[in-house]
Structure 1
């Protein structure tokens, strides 16, 4: 595996909030950590992505016109992504509370 491949994989995992980078005190060495709330943060990151996609779909529907077939599909897509994102957040919150018990 090349250093560039490792770097890209690490960047992706950080972007998805699955790992975080910590610096060893007094060192230039980085340590990558997967903690107990990694999946919670990753779920929230996914929900935020859904929110952005839903907003883009709404913008597309507005641009095409909500009465056009493509506009209707984009509005449906927007509503779906928005609802799924909200469900993801609610589910993550329920599991976080459950695991805290």
Structure 2
């Protein structure tokens, strides 16, 4: 058994990793939305301080959302390629039942 054959609820490690990456992206996106709501509620009593805090938090939440988008794009790009590789490998095994 090689490391790709290890199963996580019927998935191999790579499939599991892609699901985890997608889940992490969703969590990041939720954190970005939550951060945006908190930033909107900031009121220190000093408009300049509020503006600075909102600017910094806006940049942070924007970068967090962008990271989530990149993680989704990575999954969208590489998960299908992995499935293609996996099908090819399974086909090769079927063609050569005795690899030794």
Shift of 1:58: 1.7
Query: Higher relative contact order by CA 8 Å / sep ≥ 6: 1 or 2?
Result: 2
- SS of 1:82's equivalent in the other structure is helix
In 2, Cα distance between equivalents of 1:81 and 1:47: 12
In 1, Cα distance between equivalents of 2:70 and 2:56: 21
Larger radius of gyration: 2
Give ranges in structure 2 of 5+ residues lacking alignment. Answer: 1-8, 10-14, 82-100
CA contact (8 A) 1:51 1:85 kept: no
For the pair 1:41 / 2:23, whether they are aligned, the reply is: yes
Higher strand proportion: 1
For the pair 1:76 / 2:52, whether they are aligned, the reply is: no
Give ranges in structure 1 of 5+ residues lacking alignment. Answer: 1-21, 23-33
TM-score (norm 2): 0.52
Higher helix proportion: 2
Structure 1 runs of 4+ aligned residues shifted over 2 Å read none
